Amino acid sequence: MKKVAISACLLGQKCRYDASDNRNEALLGLLEGTELIPFCPEDHAFGTPRPTMDLVETKEGHKAISNESGEDLSASVTQYAQHFFDTHTKIDLFIGKDRSPSCGVCSARVYDEGKNLLSSREAGLMAKEAKKQNIHCIDAEEFIGL
Ligand code: SF4
């Protein structure tokens, strides 16, 4: 059976920053017959609800910066991702929630330190770790064909 790692909010888990979800029935229909392995780095690291964060370009690369405290939260997300992929091997497909600074595959926004938008086609920090594992990665909207 195909193993699919997927953003938990897409399955209906209320783990978004505001304790809502992104459940998508069309997506779930397309995934029938697969083994779904949900993940949510931000809920694990920061709890729910929580302040939002944005990806910011720095000299050390893209960092996840809290919109509330200005703190660099990247390490917690990256450590969760590394542990996830160490624990869950042989994943066939990674489906990330579009535009998330953690889970977006080719749709995360990156800003400069003055909050000017630099790109909206980047990988979030968890998706970046999935790509390093050579897992096929896709944004949920692209998978559905939106
Ligand atoms: S997009 Fe990713 S980090 Fe955000 S709520 Fe969904 S699973 Fe969690």
> Average of pLDDT values for 35-47?
98
Q: Name 110's bridge partners.
A: 55, 119
What pLDDT sits at residue 27?
96
What number of other Cβ atoms are within 10 A of residue 111's Cβ? 17
Quick one: which of 38, 43, 44, 141 has its CA closest to 91? 38
Dihedral Cα 137, 141, 144, 146, nearest 10 deg: -140
- Confidence band for 146, pLDDT divided at 50, 70 and 90: confident
**pLDDT digits 0-9 by tens, 94-118:** 999 999 999 999 999 999 999 999 9
60 pLDDT more than 90: yes
Residue 40 C-alpha to ligand 1 middle, in angstroms? 5
Residue with the two structure tokens 């200005």: 70
Asked if residue 1 lies in contact with residue 88, where contact means CB atoms within 8 angstroms, the answer is: no
Domain limits at 68? 3-144
- Confidence band for 137, pLDDT divided at 50, 70 and 90: very high
5 pLDDT more than 80: yes
Q: Please state the domain count of the chain.
A: 1
120 pLDDT more than 90: yes
- Confidence band for 48, pLDDT divided at 50, 70 and 90: very high
Peptide bond into 41 cis (omega under 30): no
Q: Which atom of ligand 1 is nearest to the CA of 77?
A: 3
Q: Which atom of ligand 1 is nearest to the CA of 48?
A: 5
> Average of pLDDT values for 53-74?
97
**pLDDT digits 0-9 by tens, 11-23:** 999 999 999 999 9
Residue 23 C-alpha to ligand 1 middle, in angstroms? 11
